[in-house]
């Protein structure tokens, strides 16, 4: 995978290497997938597992970039956004000479299904809360609430890794899912211990990662949000439906600008990031 700079108003665009196939990272291009976020151009071309990279773009305030891929999936790296954020910061980020567009939430929008719910509410800044509840005794019920500033993503979220339950692996593999999963790119949880040698990065790493996933998925709105997100046992499909419900209600949102100089992308990103992955 190679990240390249892009001019203002390009957005985040995935491009398949050696072809003219391009897929914009937009909620309208999201399709159903059981374990990750997948986007499609409607012609059979897809790119999957984009949520951790999208979270890194959101956390680094990058609005414009071209991502070239030689496969159908973003490299999983260590299962978090930290490697992407680190390499983006190493390459350098510069401001673009254009106002940064944001989506302002004007009234409550919510979706609920199968005991899970997701909601957007008006707020002056951006905040997120999340609650999970697993039968596994190593996870159980966890919740978190974060008010975001320029450092919140880097310090509180980006290192939280994806996780899976050991007793579900056989079922997932039989369904052709999670075949590249390992202790190198996920937290694996047994009934009484975490299998990873280094343990957890946060005591509540599980709920933090679920919030990270939602953070990346929300960036498919096309920019940052001014509002508050609340997720209760929700997943990628709920966030997709929440964005669809938001944009279907023209009275629930409006565009606003965050001021000149805060619109990022391009510049030193010409030092291409070569990210290796299976």
Tens digits of residue pLDDT in 157-205: 999 999 988 877 766 566 665 566 678 889 999 988 999 998 999 999 9
What pLDDT score does 189 carry?
A: 93
What pLDDT score does 266 carry?
A: 38
CA distance 179 to 39: 20
**Active site positions, annotated:** 236
Query: By C-alpha distance, which of 204, 152, 161 is closest to 182?
Result: 161
Four-point Cα dihedral 56, 36, 157, 220, nearest 10: 50
Joined tokens for residue 94: 């510069």
- Domains in the chain, number: 1
Domain of 266, CATH number, reads 3.30.1700.10
Pick out the chain residues at pLDDT < 50: 260-278
The answer for residues whose C-beta is within 8 angstroms of residue 86's C-beta and 6 or more apart is none
What pLDDT score does 167 carry?
A: 78
Q: Whole domain around residue 41: which residue ranges?
A: 2-274
CA distance 217 to 236: 7
Find the DSSP H helices in 100-188: 152, 169-174
What pLDDT score does 229 carry?
A: 98
The answer to whether residues 27 and 244 touch, using CB atoms and an 8 Å cutoff, is yes
Query: By C-alpha distance, which of 247, 232, 32 is closest to 112?
Result: 232
User: Which parts of the chain are beta strand (E)?
Assistant: 2-5, 12-16, 22-24, 30-31, 38-40, 46-48, 65-69, 95-96, 99-105, 109-113, 116-121, 126-133, 141-147, 163-165, 187-189, 225-232, 253-260, 263-264, 273-274
The answer for residues whose C-beta is within 8 angstroms of residue 174's C-beta and 6 or more apart is none
- Per the listing, tokens 């974060």 go with 146
What pLDDT score does 244 carry?
A: 98
């Amino acid at each position: 995978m190679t990240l390249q700079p892009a001019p203002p108003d390009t957005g985040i665009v995935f491009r398949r290497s050696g072809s003219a196939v391009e897929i914009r990272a937009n909620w309208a291009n999201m399709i159903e997938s059981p374990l990750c976020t997948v986007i499609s151009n409607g012609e059979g071309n897809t790119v999957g597992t984009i949520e951790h990279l999208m979270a890194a773009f959101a956390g680094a305030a990058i609005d414009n970039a071209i991502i070239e891929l030689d496969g159908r999936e973003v490299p999983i790296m260590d299962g978090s956004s930290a490697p992407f954020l680190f390499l983006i910061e190493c390459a350098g980020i510069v401001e673009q000479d254009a106002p940064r567009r944001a989506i302002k939430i004007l009234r409550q929008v919510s979706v609920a299904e199968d005991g899970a719910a997701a909601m957007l509410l008006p707020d002056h800044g951006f905040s997120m809360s999340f609650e999970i509840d697993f039968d596994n005794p190593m996870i159980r019920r966890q919740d978190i609430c974060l008010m975001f500033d320029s450092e919140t993503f880097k310090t509180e979220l980006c290192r939280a890794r994806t996780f899976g339950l050991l007793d579900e692996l056989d079922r997932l593999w039989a369904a052709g899912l999670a075949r590249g999963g390992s202790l190198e790119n996920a937290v694996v949880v047994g009934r009484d211990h975490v299998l990873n040698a280094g343990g957890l990065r946060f005591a509540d790493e599980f709920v933090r990662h679920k919030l990270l996933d939602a953070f990346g998925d929300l960036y498919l709105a096309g920019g940052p949000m001014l509002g508050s997100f609340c997720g209760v046992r929700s997943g990628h499909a709920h966030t997709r439906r929440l964005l669809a419900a938001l944009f279907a209600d023209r009275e629930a949102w409006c565009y606003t600008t965050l001021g000149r100089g805060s619109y990022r992308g391009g510049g030193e990103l010409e030092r291409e990031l070569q990210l290796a992955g299976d």
